[in-house]
Amino acid sequence: MAQLAREQVTVTRELKGRVVLITGAAGGLGAALCQRYAAAGAKIAALDLDAAKLDTLTTSLRAKGTEALALPGDITDPSACKAAVAATLAHFGALDGLINNAGISHRSLLADTDSEVIRRVMEVNFFGAANLTQAALAQIVERQGFIVAISSVAGFSPLTGRTGYTASKHALHGFFDSLRSEVEGAGVGVTIVCPSFIRTGIGTAATDGSGAPVSSPRITSGVESSPEEIAERVFEAVAAGQKLLLPDATARKAWWLSRLAPGLYARIMKRRVGGEFSGLF
């Protein structure tokens, strides 16, 4: 614990005045990450589609003495990602860290899912992160900064009724693990974060197979973490240079069980979340 405290003090000092760009920043985990990095002295570039909520967030950050820039934009548009990075550099003069947090989900069996729903989930969760990372990469390499990808337990294991979501998170792992092999020699850290369930809006904002909002509540497994708890663990993991963060007990159990006994894991997962889908058994 003392060692961790010393590491956090050091990183807090290093982050003072550094610039961190966070996507999906207007609420949930994104907003908690903005608050956590701001508390460490970082300057915040906050990117989200929801301009009104983004303004509320950045106003709150500025009231606490943080330099904050609101960046309304769509990460699925490569040109918008380039513009967001350019605006960050124009405003702050640097970019030291990127946290790819924005994401969407669907809850529907593949047989009941329009192909456009899967395409949209992939566009936001995978291509959005890839677009912005590519746009920011040269600057982050120059600053020997860090990149974070917020994945999920679904990034390393199956999840019934979320084929498109799971595919998008698996893709993140291949992309960012490979990117790490390209940039770690230049002093850039790449951290993949795999939480289980967080009390954010992603569950209520999920779509069904037609693209309409889901009407039924999601079924969860284990204890839901608060956005603030996960933001703190992300902060600590990046500070420690971790490559993979399993920030809660459910995520850690899922990691080991899915590797040591994948058949058992699949049966347990299907039993716990399969009740959302009639006719599955």
Could you list the active site residues? 165
Could you give phi then psi for residue 147, rounded to 5 degrees? -130, 135
Q: What DSSP assignment string belongs to 161-183?
A: TBHHHHHHHHHHHHHHHHHHHHH
CB–CB of 148/193 below 8 Å? Answer: yes
Strand segments (E) across 85-171: 97-100, 146-150
Parallel, antiparallel, or unpaired for β 19-23 and 43-48?
Answer: parallel
Give CA–CA dist 173/146, Å, rounded.
Answer: 16
